[in-house]
Amino acid sequence: MRMWSLQSLLLPLCMSLSCVRGELIHAYGYEGSSAQVSCPYPAGYESYDKYLCRNDCGSGDVLIITTEAQKNRFSISDNRQQRVFTATISGLSRSDAGKYWCGVSRSGKDIYTEVKLEVEQDSCCDDSTKVQYYEESSASLTCPYESEYQNSLKFVCGGSRRSSCLQQAKVTSTSQHVGQFRLTDDKRLKRFTVTISSLTQRNSGRYLCGVRANSGLDLFAAFDLEVKAWCCVASRKLTGSVGRPVTLQCPYPPEHRDNRKFLCKGEQRRSCTDMVTSQSRFTLQDDVSSSSFSVTITRLKAEDAGTYWCGSDPQWAAANYIKIQLSAGASKG
């Protein structure tokens, strides 16, 4: 392999260890995004030119030098106080992966440090966990991690792009409650959980659980969330006669025998009126042995006709309610 001094391309690069520094710099990036290569250099070289190159670092291999702030997809800056210059490569593709060199130009023998750039696809992930919930309930996404990441930043974003996930995070372990999203980190069990409350169908889609890596690219796991619309698990029609009693039957899961039972009226379940507590003509009777309760309306009125919702779970889980369409007809006798 041949390398050339930037100041004198006709001089062969010294191949001894005195001009190639021992440490290897690792850099990472996603396809279509950018990668930063941070190159430290020794004291005394603050005013020297620095550059990033590939291959043999010949005349056509120098990608960017500090005498030019930007060139094509490359930009460069030099922090002389910290003695680190940084080269940025934008618009990454898989072909950008490989070996680079950080160079410090000096008379005769330049100083080189090897760089290894890894480029991964931005979209995530080949495997995902599929979860289903109903509107207005809460979804929980549980994300395990390894012990070494107990104190690392955790976050969740929507979509599949890893490169912008942290910048577009819905919630993080430092901002634990943002709108619908809440993040709790159980370091003992090495997992964090994101809860999304008051779900709507607009919450459907892919979510990424992210853990900020100590070095290299962040770690991700994918969830595909489907939020189902409220459609009746059971829908019934019932007709009663004005002036006569009518009874509405409401079964419930056996495990809800100790829950408060309710019947409310309204076209929209979320804004219906509890009739048992507001109307003395509505009487609720619970039959635990049959896992059902009944509500009897004495002296049915025409205005009692409409949509009723009965259930046994104040959180309105989809399997725990019945929709009843009640009609009030004229009495026949």
Q: What is the DSSP letter of 330?
A: P
CATH of 128-228, one of 3.30.460.10, 2.60.40.10, 2.40.50.700, 3.40.50.2000: 2.60.40.10
Residue with the bigger pLDDT between 278 and 77: it is: 77
Domain segments of the chain: what residues? Answer: 20-120, 128-228, 235-329
| Tens-place pLDDT, residues 51-93 | 999 988 887 899 999 999 899 999 999 999 999 999 999 999 9
Instruction: Let me know: does 217 contact 210? Beta carbons within 8 Å.
Output: no
Q: Is the pLDDT of residue 17 over 60?
A: no
Burial of 99 (0-12, 13-18, 19+ CB in 10 A): exposed
Identify the three-state secondary structure at position 270.
helix
| Tens-place pLDDT, residues 203-233 | 999 999 999 998 889 999 999 999 987 655 5
Give Cα separations from 170 to 157, 181, 205, 217, 220 (angstroms). Answer: 5, 7, 13, 20, 15
Q: How far apart are CA 312 and CA 292, in angstroms?
A: 9
CATH of 235-329, one of 3.90.320.10, 3.40.30.10, 3.40.50.1820, 2.60.40.10: 2.60.40.10
Q: How far apart are CA 286 and CA 283, in angstroms?
A: 10
Domains 20-120 and 128-228 share a fold: yes
Q: What is the DSSP letter of 13?
A: P
Mean pLDDT within 304-328: 81
> Any idea which residue has 């994300």 for tokens?
143
> Any idea which residue has 């696809």 for tokens?
121
The pLDDT value recorded for residue 16 is 33
| Tens-place pLDDT, residues 192-201 | 999 999 899 9
Domain 20-120 carries which CATH code? Answer: 2.60.40.10
pLDDT cut 70: percent of the chain above it: 89
Instruction: Let me know: does 40 contact 87? Beta carbons within 8 Å.
Output: no
Q: Where are the beta strands (DSSP E) in 31-145?
A: 35-40, 50-54, 62-65, 70-71, 74-79, 84-89, 98-104, 111-120, 128-134, 139-144
Q: Is the pLDDT of residue 174 over 90?
A: yes
327 backbone dihedrals φ, ψ, rounded to 5°: -110, 145
Lowest-confidence segment of 27-41, 196-210, 252-266, 312-326 by average pLDDT: 312-326
The two structure tokens encoding residue 208:
């990424």
- Please, which residues have CB within 8 angstroms of residue 222's CB and are 6 or more apart in sequence? 124, 125, 127, 128, 129, 160, 206, 207, 208, 209
